[in-house]
Structure 1
Amino acid sequence: MKRIYIVRHGQTYINRYHKMQGWCDTPLTDKGIAGADQAGEILKDIPFDIALSSDVKRASDTCDIIVKHNVNHDEIQHIATPFFREHFYGYFEGMDIDAAWQMIGGPHGYQNHSDLFKNEPIDTIKNWIKDADPFHDAENAQEYWQRLDKGFKLISQLDGAENILLVTHGFTIRSIADRYGDFAITEDPRNASVTVMNMTEQKMKVVSYNNTKI
């Protein structure tokens, strides 16, 4: 069995300014760096065999900070891959979060992010993001999962890797917890929080979500 410790990247400036952040990127804030250090301390005694992250810098930097704390820090290889990027929001990248979700949910009777996520399946929301994008560049659910599934296939093929660090993004962690777990996902996981997934040849199962300890 593989155990995957899934960490959301530390706070960025776009997070701080309450804007949509998918494939666009900004640096970690001081709070974000401190959060990554805290996650590193929480996970320091887990002997990671390998570390993976999104190839977006905020996730890659968070991963490097966590690895520095780890008992196996001298041996851990870090693989950064686009497979574990955040959902691509297209036209909405960098937009104020409240304004973006009004544009996405408004045609369906929702005026805010909270009500939308309380009442609609997360893959439906992905499809609505693409529908609302005037350029239709945003990912829909099918496009998103085709990409993520390549990442999980990569993990499944890592022979001998049992304890795996994966640093990725809020909407992605929420999507994974919804698909492979039984958790309320009405709110984003906190920056630098830890979610744990077990992977066997038969199935994947999220066993804890959005924690600040393990």
Structure 2
Amino acid sequence: MAINLYIVRHGETYFNFLHRFQGWSDAPLTPKGIQHGLDAGTRLANIHFDGAYSSDLTRSVHTARYILKNNQANSGIEPTELPDFREQFFGSFEGVDSEVVTTTLGAYKPNSLNTYSDFITEFGMAEAMDTIYLADPFKFAEDDEQWWTRVSHGFDDIRARHHDGDNVLIVSHGTTIRGIADKLGRHDFASNSVKNGALMRIELLPSTATILNFNDDTTVF
């Protein structure tokens, strides 16, 4: 049983443009972000989707609708909201400038780091998530275990809803997509920021998964 997952990062939001940590905060898409969704839809226009899903955050829901607007393969579906595919919750760091967050996280490590991607490259996604939780004074933020428990449940949900050969669209978020890549053994992929509207294609099996494309914003399928 192999389900073909097309996991797309949502289009650019105003928080993305302003370089702020977004998490569960819900900034709207910019005009460029709307175009990201439409462009992703053009690249996926010939894929008949047997299911379409997004996280329940508005930027993902809207991006999924823009993708499906350009679908030419008679998919004929509206995206279903699945909260399991939300972004990591950043707690007290929600809405904070990314440089400030990186500086704060750097206080918990011996090396000074210039960007959040540097942190991930040096220590890995799990350590990055756990450090965000550790640095949050109110402990609202999700740690790696909490985040992966819900995302794993999301994959099990997809397995229960679909059959061998189904094509499934999921619109999710940058850190979540990088975290999935890391959990699937591709730390090299996770070290790269995911572009808005870019795609990760996964072959989802009953107990394993393989990444076939990552951070892909050029391939026409």
Structure 2 residue 124 is matched with structure 1 residue 121: yes
Structure 2 residue 146 is matched with structure 1 residue 143: yes
The 2-side partners of 1:152 and 1:29 are apart by: 29
Residues 191/80 of structure 1: CA separation in 2 closer, same or farther (3 Å cut): same
Greater displacement, 37-46 / 100-109:
100-109
- How far off its partner does 1:74 sit? 5.5
Residues 159/74 of structure 1: CA separation in 2 closer, same or farther (3 Å cut): closer
| Equivalent position of 1:21 in the other structure | 22
The 2-side partners of 1:201 and 1:108 are apart by: 38
Residues 101/135 of structure 1: CA separation in 2 closer, same or farther (3 Å cut): same
Secondary structure of the corresponding residue to residue 201 of structure 2: strand
- How far off its partner does 1:127 sit? 0.6
- Partner of residue 209 from structure 1, selected from 200, 203, 214: 214
**TM-score (structure 2 length as normaliser):** 0.92
| Equivalent position of 1:111 in the other structure | 113
Secondary structure of the corresponding residue to residue 189 of structure 2: coil
- How far off its partner does 1:75 sit? 2.4
- Partner of residue 189 from structure 2, selected from 168, 180, 184: 184
| Equivalent position of 1:163 in the other structure | 167
Deviations 1:77-111 (A, max 9, x none): 42111100000000000000010111122221233
Structure 2 residue 136 is matched with structure 1 residue 133: yes
- Output the amino acid matched with 1:195: M
- Output the amino acid matched with 1:148: V
Structure 2 matches for 1:27-176, cutoff 5 A? 27-73=28-74, 75-109=76-110, 110-112=112-114, 113-160=116-163, 162-176=166-180
Q: Does the aligned pair in 1 maintain the 2:50–2:75 contact within 8 Å? A: no
The 1-side partners of 2:121 and 2:106 are apart by: 12
- Partner of residue 199 from structure 2, selected from 194, 197, 211: 194
Q: Does the aligned pair in 2 maintain the 1:9–1:192 contact within 8 Å? A: yes
Deviations 1:6-42 (A, max 9, x none): 1000000000001000000111000000111100000
The 2-side partners of 1:205 and 1:52 are apart by: 20
**TM-score (structure 1 length as normaliser):** 0.95
Q: Does the aligned pair in 2 maintain the 1:56–1:85 contact within 8 Å? A: yes
Count of residues in Structure 1 that have an aligned counterpart in Structure 2: 214
- How far off its partner does 1:72 sit? 4.0
Greater displacement, 40-49 / 161-170:
161-170
Secondary structure of the corresponding residue to residue 107 of structure 1: coil
Secondary structure of the corresponding residue to residue 195 of structure 1: strand
**Which structure 2 residue ranges, 5 or more long, are not aligned?**
none
The 2-side partners of 1:73 and 1:10 are apart by: 23
- How far off its partner does 1:73 sit? 4.9
The 1-side partners of 2:147 and 2:207 are apart by: 22
**Structure 1 segments (4+ residues) deviating >4 Å:** none
Secondary structure of the corresponding residue to residue 157 of structure 1: helix
- Output the amino acid matched with 1:49: D
The 2-side partners of 1:12 and 1:206 are apart by: 26
